[in-house]
Amino acid sequence: MSATTKTLEEVTTRDYEAGFVTDIEQDTVPPGLNEDVIRFISAKKNEPEWLLEWRLKAYRNWLNMPHPTWANVNYPPIDFQAISYFSAPKSDDDRPKSLDDIDPKIKETYDKLGIPLYEQEMLAGVAVDAVFDSVSVATSYKEKLAEKGIIFCSMSEAVENHPELVQKYLGTVVPHNDNFFAALNSAVFTDGSFVYIPKGVRCPMELSTYFRINAANTGQFERTLIVAEEGSHVSYLEGCTAPKRDENQLHAAVVELVALDDAEIKYSTVQNWYPGDENGVGGIYNFVTKRGLCQGRNSKISWTQVETGSAITWKYPSCVLRGDNSVGEFYSVAVTRGYQQADTGTKMIHMGKNTRSTIVSKGISAGHGQQSYRGLVRIAPTAENARNYSQCDSMLMSDTCGAHTFPYIDCQNPSAQMEHEATTSKIGEDQIFYCKQRGISEEDAVSLIVNGFCKDVFRTLPMEFAVEAQKLMEITLEDSVG
Amino acid sequence: MALLEIENLHAAIDGTEILKGINLTLNTGEVHAIMGPNGSGKSTLAKVLAGDEAYEVTQGSIRYNGQDLLDMDPEIRAREGMFLGFQYPVEIPGVSNTYFLKAAVNAIRKHRGQDEMDAMEFLQLIRERAKTVKLEDTLLQRPVNEGFSGGEKKRNEVFQMAVLEPVLAILDETDSGLDIDALRTVAEGVNAMRSAERGFLVITHYQRLLNYIVPDHVHVLLGGKVVKSGGKELAKELEQSGYAMFGEQAA
Q: What pLDDT is recorded for position A164? A: 95
Q: Are residues B156 and B186 in contact, defined by beta-carbon separation less than 8 angstroms? A: no
Structural contact between residues A421 and B62, judged by C-beta atoms closer than 8 angstroms: no
- Test B53 with A454 for CB contact under 8 angstroms: no
End-to-end CA distance of chain B: give it in Å, rounded.
Answer: 37
- Domain around B245: 2-250
**Which residues make Cβ contacts (< 8 Å) with residue A333, sequence separation at least 6?**
A305, A306, A307, A362, A363, A364, A454, A457, A458, A469, A473
Considering CB atoms only, which of A428, A430, A437 is closest to B78?
A437
Q: What is the DSSP string of A119-148?
A: HHHHHHTEEEEEEETTEEEEE-SHHHHHHT
CA distance A134 to A113: 19
* Whole-number Å distance between alpha carbons of B91 and B144: 6
Cβ-nearest to A437 among B50, B94, B99: B50
- Tell me: pLDDT of B68 over 50: yes
In this predicted structure, what is the pLDDT of residue A271? 79
d(CA B103, CA A476): 20
d(C-alpha A303, C-alpha A268), whole Å: 6
- Cβ neighbors of A412 (< 8 A, separation 6 or more) are A378, A379, A380, A381
- Residue B251: CB partners within 8 Å, gap ≥ 6? B244
What are the pLDDT digits (tens) for B202-230?
999 888 889 899 999 999 999 999 999 99
* A423 touches B: beta carbon within 8 Å: no
Q: Sign of torsion, CA B143 B149 B153 B159? A: negative
With contact defined as beta carbons under 8 Å apart, do B29 and B5 qualify?
no
CA–CA gap between residue B57 and residue A476 (Å, rounded): 34
CB contact under 8 A, B164 and A435: no
Question: Which comes out higher in pLDDT, residue B92 or A475?
Answer: B92
Helix%, strand%, coil% for chain B, nearest 5: 40, 30, 30
A250, A219 Cβ separation under 8 angstroms: yes
Q: Count CB-CB contacts under 10 A for residue B149.
A: 10
* Disruptive mutation site among A364, A393, A423, A434 for chain B (greatest number of B CBs within 10 Å): A434
> Residue A367 is which amino acid?
G
**CB B53 to CB A433 under 8 A?**
yes
pLDDT at A127 (0 to 100): 45
Q: Given the cut 0.90, state whether the ipTM is greater than it.
A: yes
A62's enclosing H/E stretch is helix A49-63
Spatial distance between the Cα atoms of A364 and A309, rounded to a whole number of angstroms: 12
Q: Which residue of A has its CA nearest to B164?
A: A438
* 3-state secondary structure labels for all residues of B102-124: HHHHHHHHHHCCCCCCCHHHHHH
Q: How far apart are CA B130 and CA B118, in angstroms?
A: 18
> Alpha helices, DSSP H only, in B28-149?
42-50, 74-79, 97-111, 119-132, 137-141
* pLDDT for the residue A240: 56
In the chain, the amino acid numbered A428 is G
Distances (CA, A) of A109 to A105, A113, A239, A311, A327: 6, 6, 14, 22, 38
Tell whether A104 lies on the interface with B, counting CB pairs under 8 A: no
pLDDT at B246 over 80: no
CB-CB neighbours of A374 under 10 Å = 22
B55-64: strand order across its sheet: B16-27, B2-13, B55-64, B67-68
B80, closest residue in chain A (CA to CA) = A439
State the average pLDDT for chain B: 91
Which has more confidence, B109 or A137? B109
> What is the CATH classification number for the domain harbouring B59?
3.40.50.300
List of chain B residues whose C-beta atoms are within 8 Å of the C-beta of residue A444: 103, 107
**Nearest Cα residue to B163 out of B135, B138, B184, B187:** B135
Rounded to a whole number of angstroms, the distance from the CA of A374 to the nearest CA of chain B is: 24
Q: Which residue of A has its CA nearest to B103?
A: A440
Q: Residue A249: beta bridge partners?
A: A284
Q: How far apart are CA A458 and CA A470, in angstroms?
A: 8
User: Is A349 in a helix, a strand, or coil?
Assistant: strand
Distance of CA A40 to the CA centre of its chain: 27
Which 3 state secondary structure label does DSSP give B126?
A: helix
Residues A338 and A367 sit within 8 Å (Cβ to Cβ): yes
Q: Are B161 and B133 in contact (CB under 8 A)?
A: no
* Predicted local confidence at residue B51, as pLDDT: 95
Q: What is the pLDDT of residue A101?
A: 53
Distance CA A88, CA A285 (A): 20
pLDDT at B139 over 60: yes
Bridge partners, residue B183, by sequence: none
Backbone angles phi, psi at A332, to 5 degrees: -140, 135
Separation of alpha carbons B88 and B84, rounded Å: 11
Chain B positions touching A438 (Cβ under 8 A) are: 78, 100-101, 103-104, 107, 160, 164
Give A439 to chain B, closest Cα distance, Å: 4
The structural domain count of chain B equals: 1
Among residues B29, B22, B19, which one has the least CA distance to residue B5?
B22
Chain B contact for A441 (CB, 8 A cutoff):
yes
pTM of the model: 0.78
Q: How confident is the model at residue B103 (pLDDT cuts 50, 70, 90)?
A: very high
Q: A32's torsion region: left (phi>0), alpha (psi -120 to 50) or beta?
A: left
Q: Given CA atoms B187, B192, B194, B197 in this order, what sign does their dihedral have?
A: negative
Helices (H), A173-258: 180-188
Q: Which of A47, A140, A139, A28 is nearest to A88 (CA)?
A: A28
Tell me, yes or no, if A430 comes closer than 8 A to chain B by beta carbon: yes
Distance in angstroms (rounded) separating the CA atoms of residues A311 and A339: 7
Is the separation of the CB atoms in B235 and B218 below 8 Å? yes
The pLDDT tens digits along chain A (482 residues) read 344 444 444 444 445 555 555 555 556 777 888 888 899 888 888 899 999 999 999 999 999 998 888 888 888 888 888 887 876 554 444 444 555 554 554 455 455 555 555 433 333 334 445 554 444 444 456 677 888 999 988 888 899 999 999 999 999 999 999 999 999 999 999 888 899 999 999 998 888 765 434 443 345 788 999 999 999 999 998 875 544 454 557 888 999 999 999 999 999 988 777 777 777 777 788 899 999 999 999 999 999 998 888 888 899 999 999 999 999 999 999 988 888 888 999 999 999 999 999 999 999 888 888 898 999 999 999 999 999 999 999 988 888 888 888 999 999 999 999 999 888 888 888 899 999 999 999 888 988 898 888 888 888 888 767 777 777 777 667 666 65
Selecting from B52, B54, B104 the residue whose C-beta is nearest the C-beta of A438 gives: B104
Report CB contact under 8 Å: B94, A454: yes
- Cα separation, A142 vs A38, in Å, equals 30
Q: Is the pLDDT of residue B251 over 60?
A: no
How far is residue A78's CA from residue B134's CA, in Å, rounded to a whole number?
64
Q: How many helices (H) and strands (E) in chain B? A: 9, 12
Cβ atoms B94, A423 nearer than 8 A: no
Question: Of A213, A320, A306, A229, nearest to A268 (Cα)?
Answer: A306
